[in-house]
Every structure is written in C-alpha cells, then in structure tokens.
A = this chain, B = another copy of it.
Amino acid sequence: MLTQTHAPAHAATPRGHTVLHPVRLPLTRTHLRAVNPVARKDNCENCRLHAVCVPDGLDAGERDEFIGLVFQHKRFAVGERLYRAGEAFTHLYFVKTGAFKSVMMLHDGREQITGFHLAGDMLGIDAIGDSAHPSEAVAIEEAWVCAVPYQSLMQLSRRAEPVQSYVQNLLSRELVRDQGVMLLLGRMQAEERVAVFLINLAQRFKTRGQSPNEFILPMVREDIGNYLGLTLETVSRCLSRLKKAGLIEVNNRQLRILDHAGLEQVIGAGQNHD
C-alpha cells in the first residue's frame, strides 16, 4: 500500500514548472482557512475555472452567495491526502490546480483507484450518502483546492434551482462515468483499456483548453494500471505497442497522440462481440 508519509517534498512536478515553495515537510494538515468575503469573491471571479465551478443561471445575488460559500484554498504536496477513508464529510472540494486520485481500499490492503481529478473537477461527492468518505483522495501532483461546506450548499440549492440541478447533475454524471469504467473493466482487453484511458484524458484536457494531442500524464504507470485493472508492466507494454503501431508517441510522462482515429479503432478490434 502506499506509504502515506511525505511525498518527497521537492514538488515532483514532472514538467519544468517552477516550484514556488519547495517546502520540506512534516506534513501537518492545517485547516482550510476562510478568507474574507471580498477576497473570496475575487478569487472565484478571477479564477479561470469559474465557468466550470460556479453554476450557470444564477442571478447576481445567488451567484455572490455561492461564491461566498467557497473557502479559499490550500496546498497539497504529492502524496498528501485531502481526506481519508472514514473521515467525516463536511465539504465538497474543487481542484484548482494539480491533480488527485480517488482510492478505494479493501481491508486486506488491496486498493482500487476509482478516478483521477484534474483542475475544475469536484471531489468528495461519494461521501454525501453516509456522511463519511468511503474513499481517500491523494494528490498526484502538487495541488490547490477550494472547499464548499455541503450543508450550506444544500440550503442554497433549496432556494436556487440552478444550484440544485448543478449538484444533481454532477452526481448523476459521475454515476455514468463510473458505469463506463465498469464496462471497461468488465469487458475490455488491456490495449483497449489503455486506448480508452488516453482518449478520455485527451478529451478532458481539451475541455480544459489544453492541447488534447500532447500532454503530460499526471500519474505514474502504476496508477494507470491500478485504475485500469492492470499491472504497470502491462500498461507499459500496451503503450509500447501503441507507439510501435504509430498511434502515439510516449516518453515517460510525455505523451503525444499521433492518430486519434486509429486509437479509437483499437477499441473493439478483435473482440468477443456478444
């Protein structure tokens, strides 16, 4: 299982990003700090993600109310946890920068990564039903998050219909996503799974305004394998095969998609078509 202790604090941003605070840890978790309302509002309005995080269709007052709920942000080093399994549920979280993985754990130590969360994604919604987090969220890149107190959000959603459907839709879409993963895990072969993974990742980068055809994989091979129900070796072999087939270029974390259509044709090539 993953050692929970210090991620090597040198902020392992694989890309050449300048690391702002190469803080050496003991990683004490400070609490999320509220900032004053004006600063809050500024932070959301100026945040390039506000179109993603803030619900559409609110009038000015409601919008301010929503933004007023958002607690400003906290930094997480690679390997740090936003919450742990079993922890009480109080807030929903937005990833502002960086990336997390959600991990579900079995008592015998086995772990399954159930999702990766990039900038703009929400975290913690699976905890609503039992008021406790069933999984844990681990930063896989240096990350900053914002937090929204769930109870307040629910109160607001009773007054503002857009907030209500916003939350419902988030939950429901996550359901559909998970069902897609079930399809992948249950019915697809290794190479297909990797292809689907790359295509999805590309799509997500695209909606974030980044290049869909050239990006840095935010996670290590082992995490990809875990997510896809494979070993890291199999992931590596599949990537090599896709490379040899001329569909992608890959060098460690650096990935380029050369033939998007070809990648999509990998899905369903030579399968047990029920």
Contact = CB atoms under 8 A, between A and B. Distances in A.
A157 interface: yes
Interface string A111-142: 11010000000000111111000110000000
Interface stretch (A37-45, A48-56, A158-166, A201-209): A158-166
A159 B180 CA distance: 34
A108 interface: yes
B187 A273 contact: no
A215 B1 CA distance: 37
A178 interface: yes
B173 A172 contact: no
A181 interface: yes
A125 B114 CA distance: 20
A187 B114 contact: no
Given A168-B167, A229-B186, A109 B273 contact: yes
Copies in the complex: 2
A115 to B, nearest CB: 8
A174 interface: yes
Contact of A274 (B20, B128, B179): B20
A110 interface: yes
16 contacts: A109-B274, A110-B268, A110-B271, A126-B172, A126-B175, A126-B179, A128-B168, A129-B170, A134-B176, A154-B161, A157-B164, A167-B168, A175-B175, A178-B179, A182-B185, A186-B228
Interface of A: 1, 17, 20, 102, 104, 106-112, 114, 125-130, 134-135, 154, 157-159, 161, 164-165, 167-176, 178-183, 185-188, 226-229, 267-268, 271-274
